[in-house]
Amino acid sequence: MPYHYHSANEEAIYILEGKGTLRMDGEEIGISKGDYITCPAGSGAHQIINSSDNILRYLCFSTMLEPDVIVYPDSNKIGIFVGSAPGGPKEKRTVHKYLRGDAEVDYWDVEE
């Protein structure tokens, strides 16, 4: 999973098997079987990394709320989901886009 955070959805991660690294808020923390990680909405970015040669299995839970904006600090992207949360039914989405974080225009751009 890329380094990211959600503006609307809370996530929780439970490590089922293996060892790895949790990258969260700029820190790297060792994780292993039985660890439970909470990622509140709007808080710092997070990423699970398999930093070993063995399998790392985990369950990721989400509140599945929409609309949601996901921010990817490393790649300067944002993801926008309306109509269905990330991971939800694609056919229910009315807006689903990934954009560069610096792709900003004025409110009145091309409206005049």
Q: In the chain, where are the structural domains located?
A: 5-100
- The burial of 69, by beta-carbon neighbours within 10 Å (0-12 exposed, 13-18 middle, 19 or more buried), is given as middle
Which CATH superfamily hosts domain 5-100? Answer: Jelly Rolls (2.60.120.10)
Nearest to 68 by CA among 48, 49, 82, 47: 82
Residues 6+ positions from 105 with CB-CB distance below 8 Å? none
Average pLDDT on 66-82 reads: 96
What's the token pair of residue 83? Answer: 């109509």
Confidence of residue 50 (pLDDT cuts 50, 70, 90): very high
Confidence of residue 7 (pLDDT cuts 50, 70, 90): very high
Average pLDDT on 5-27 reads: 96
Rounded Cα gap, residues 34 and 13, in angstroms: 10
In the chain, what percentage of residues exceed pLDDT 70?
100
Confidence of residue 35 (pLDDT cuts 50, 70, 90): very high
Confidence of residue 26 (pLDDT cuts 50, 70, 90): confident
**How many helices (H) and strands (E) in the chain?**
0, 10
Integer-rounded Cα Rg, in Å, for the chain is 16
Q: What is the mean pLDDT of the chain?
A: 95
pTM for this model (two decimals) = 0.88
pLDDT confidence of residue 112: 72
